[in-house]
């Protein structure tokens, strides 16, 4: 699989489209190709290219459960500018690939949350935002609250706090992007 670097006939000194360890490796490959006469060509494993595309185009499902959801909504406002990470909120599970569970998971909501998760196409990821979604938070040992959303669906990233600030969610999204980018390497056991 070949991709063009920024500026078409780019070289080591030019800004690449991406700035990850993979992109740096790709630029090293580019230097090798230039020496061999294949100027302007970068080689990359398809799985790494797909991971790069996936992490740069995350569509979180828009739904919230309690007070943490207000912080999540605030995080989507222009001040934090999640668009620059390729994060676009989406009001349907059918096209979303990230579920941000923001708020208290009461037992009555457990089944609807599971259903929404199952309606999302794979690959998909889950962020547990706040103490309630992580472990029940202040409602520990409550008769009506699930002690963490990971009791019903798998969670990839936990964002601590009660509530976490938008910057904490931003950090959680960056951690998720790192995890997605590393998935091909981890699958190969590297």
Q: Looking at 72, 132, 145, 173, which residue binds ligand SF4 (CB under 6 A)?
A: 132
Q: Looking at 20, 89, 96, 131, which residue binds ligand SF4 (CB under 6 A)?
A: 131
Q: How far is the CB of 163 from ligand SF4 (least distance, A)?
A: 3
Q: Is 40 helix (H, G, I), strand (E, B) or coil?
A: coil
Distances in whole angstroms, Cα of residue 117 to Cα of each of 81, 93, 121, 126: 26, 7, 9, 9
Question: Would you say 68 or 126 has its CB closer to ligand SF4?
Answer: 68
Long-range contacts of 161-165 (CB under 8 A, 24+ apart): 161/130, 161/131, 162/130, 162/131, 162/132, 162/137, 162/138, 163/67, 163/68, 163/70, 163/71, 163/129, 163/130, 164/68, 164/71, 164/129, 164/130, 165/71
Q: Looking at 5, 137, 148, 172, which residue binds ligand SF4 (CB under 6 A)?
A: 137
Question: Would you say 53 or 162 has its CB closer to ligand SF4?
Answer: 162
Q: Looking at 31, 32, 140, 162, which residue binds ligand SF4 (CB under 6 A)?
A: 162
Question: Could you tell me which stretch among 93-101, 110-118, 125-133, 170-178 binds ligand SF4 (CB under 6 A)?
Answer: 125-133
Q: Looking at 11, 138, 154, 160, which residue binds ligand SF4 (CB under 6 A)?
A: 138
Identify how many contiguous H helices and E strands the chain contains and give both numbers: 6, 6
Between strands 42-43 and 2-3, the pairing is antiparallel
According to the binding rule CB under 6 A, does residue 159 interact with ligand SF4? no
Q: How far is the CB of 57 from ligand SF4 (least distance, A)?
A: 27
- Count of CB atoms within 10 A of residue 123's CB? 11
8-47 binders of ligand SF4 (CB under 6 A): none
CA-based torsion, 170, 175, 176, 181: positive or negative: positive
- What mask of x and - would describe binding to ligand SF4 in positions 92 to 111, judged by CB under 6 A? -----------xx-------
54-73 binders of ligand SF4 (CB under 6 A): 66-68
Residues near ligand SF4 (CB under 6 A) are 66-68, 103-104, 130-132, 137-138, 162-163
């Amino acid at each position: 699989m070949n991709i063009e670097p920024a500026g078409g006939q780019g070289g080591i000194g030019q800004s690449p489209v991406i700035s990850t360890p993979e992109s740096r490796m790709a630029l090293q490959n580019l230097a090798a190709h230039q020496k061999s006469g294949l100027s302007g060509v970068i080689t990359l494993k398809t799985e790494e290219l797909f991971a790069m595309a996936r992490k740069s185009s995350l569509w979180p499902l828009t739904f919230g459960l309690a007070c943490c959801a207000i912080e999540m909504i605030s995080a989507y406002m222009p001040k934090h500018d999640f668009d620059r990470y390729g994060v676009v909120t989406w009001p349907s599970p059918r096209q979303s690939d990230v579920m941000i569970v923001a708020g208290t998971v009461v037992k009555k909501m457990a089944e609807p949350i599971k259903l929404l998760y199952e309606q999302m196409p794979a690959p998909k990821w889950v962020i547990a935002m706040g103490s309630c979604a992580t472990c029940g938070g202040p409602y520990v040992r409550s008769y009506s609250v699930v002690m963490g959303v990971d009791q019903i669906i798998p969670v990839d990233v936990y964002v601590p706090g009660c509530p976490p600030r938008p910057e904490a969610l931003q950090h959680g999204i960056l951690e998720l992007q790192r995890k997605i980018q590393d998935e091909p390497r981890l699958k190969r056991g590297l």
